[in-house]
Structure 1
Amino acid sequence: MYTMKWKKSDLHQYVNAKEYVDTIIIPLIPFQLSNDSVLEKDAFQREVLVAFSYELEKELTGRVLLTPNYNYLKSSHKDQEIVRINSWIDDIEQQPFNHIFYVTFDSTWKKNEQGMRGTLLWLPGVSDGTLQSNEMHSIIRSNVEQVSELIRSYWKD
């Protein structure tokens, strides 16, 4: 099996095996510099979500392609972001993907998920810690196991 992240060698493998890769994962990551009080928390959550996404892709190797992160301003209106996300999906749907999953710690997407083409997987955020700690690795691993089981349930349908 091989991993499929958004890099040249992985995309070469994807093109040669796309009939087996039917699922895409899009990490949704907020960004803002306007509020100093949450900069570190937001940066830490980004680090954790990226690590989680890589681990999830590795767990589901062979059937999943991990896109580049979808970055957006935290203060932006979600209805505008949904238009932008759906333009990504228009392009993605040119390939044979049957399942589209968004992963995020940002709970504000839940109120707008009906406009998204795909399945939103909201994870409770981690506000503090160290990415290298055993505890954080354990949290990420536990979330990967639960989410990968959920994604596999979609494959059975």
Structure 2
Amino acid sequence: MKWEVATIDQYVQAKAFVDTALIPLVDIELGDEIESAVTTSAFVTGVANKMEEQLKGRVLLLPAMTTISDESFATLYQRINAWHSYLKQQGFKNVVFLTQNTEWIERQTEVDSAILVLDSAPESLDLFPQEVSRMTKKTVTMLIEIWQKG
């Protein structure tokens, strides 16, 4: 289920079964790296959308949390933990962020939520659909492992 007018009623009706909030975590960069930031954002969002399609009924895909390139990790920790607390209060058992920022691999223990770090986006747009599918399969497996740990 997605944070969309067309589907939010489905979420409201099935709220008791939807135990995972899924949030893309994307960087906004308007300088020299703008093309890379847009590609990365599209990739993370594409994977999140495909995950939601495969896990409909168990996952609510929320709008992306955006960060700016020079935002400190201390600020991000506070924001992510605030989202985590709010979503837990709303009944979500799992709060999962998706990102391509590899710095989260070593830092994810510093926040309360799960952070799944995706592989790099393909450089060729021709490979985009295949890579989104490949990465979706990998992240769905990672999310199922989170569910199994309970």
What is the percentage of aligned positions where both structures have the same residue? 25
Counterpart of 1:137, as a letter, is P
The reply to whether residue 114 of structure 1 matches residue 109 of structure 2 is yes
| CA–CA distance in structure 2, aligned partners of residues 92 and 121 of structure 1 | 17
TM-score by length of 2: 0.91
Provide the C-alpha distance between the structure 1 equivalents of 2:20 and 2:123, rounded to a whole number of angstroms: 31
Letter of the 1:92 partner, please give it: L
Task: Name the counterpart of 2:26.
Answer: 29
Following the alignment from structure 2 to structure 1, what is the Cα–Cα distance between the partners of residues 8 and 88?
A: 16
Alignment partners' CA distance in 2, 1:89 and 1:47: 24
Aligned runs of 1:60-99 on 2, under 5 Å?
60-99=55-94
Structure 1 residue 8: deviation in Å?
Answer: 2.0
The equivalent of 2:38 in structure 1 is: 43
What's the CA shift for 1:86?
A: 1.4
- Structure 1 pair 127/74, CA: closer, same or farther in 2 (3 Å)? farther
1:127–1:145 distance in 2 versus 1, CA, 3 Å: closer
Structure 2 unaligned residues grouped into runs of 5+? none
Query: Are 1:79 and 1:112, in contact at CA under 8 Å, matched by a contact in 2?
Result: no
* Runs of 4 or more consecutive aligned structure 1 residues displaced over 4 Å after TM superposition: none
Q: Cα offset for 1:61?
A: 1.0
Q: 2:17 aligns with which of 20, 24, 39?
A: 20
Unaligned runs of 5+ in 1: none
Report deviation, 1:22. 0.5
Q: Which amino acid aligns with 1:20?
A: F
Please tell me whether residue 137 in structure 1 is matched to residue 134 in structure 2.
Answer: no
SS of equivalent to 1:55: helix
Number of residue pairs the alignment of both structures matches:
149
User: How far apart, in 2, do the equivalents of 1:16 and 1:94 lie?
Assistant: 18
Structure-2 change in CA distance of 1:127 and 1:143 (3 Å)? closer
Indicate the SS of the match to 2:36: helix
Amino acid at match of 1:75: D
- For the aligned residues, what is the CA RMSD? 1.4
Note the alpha carbon deviations across 1:15-41, whole angstroms, 9 max, x for none: 1111110111111101122x31x1111
SS in 2 for 1:107: coil
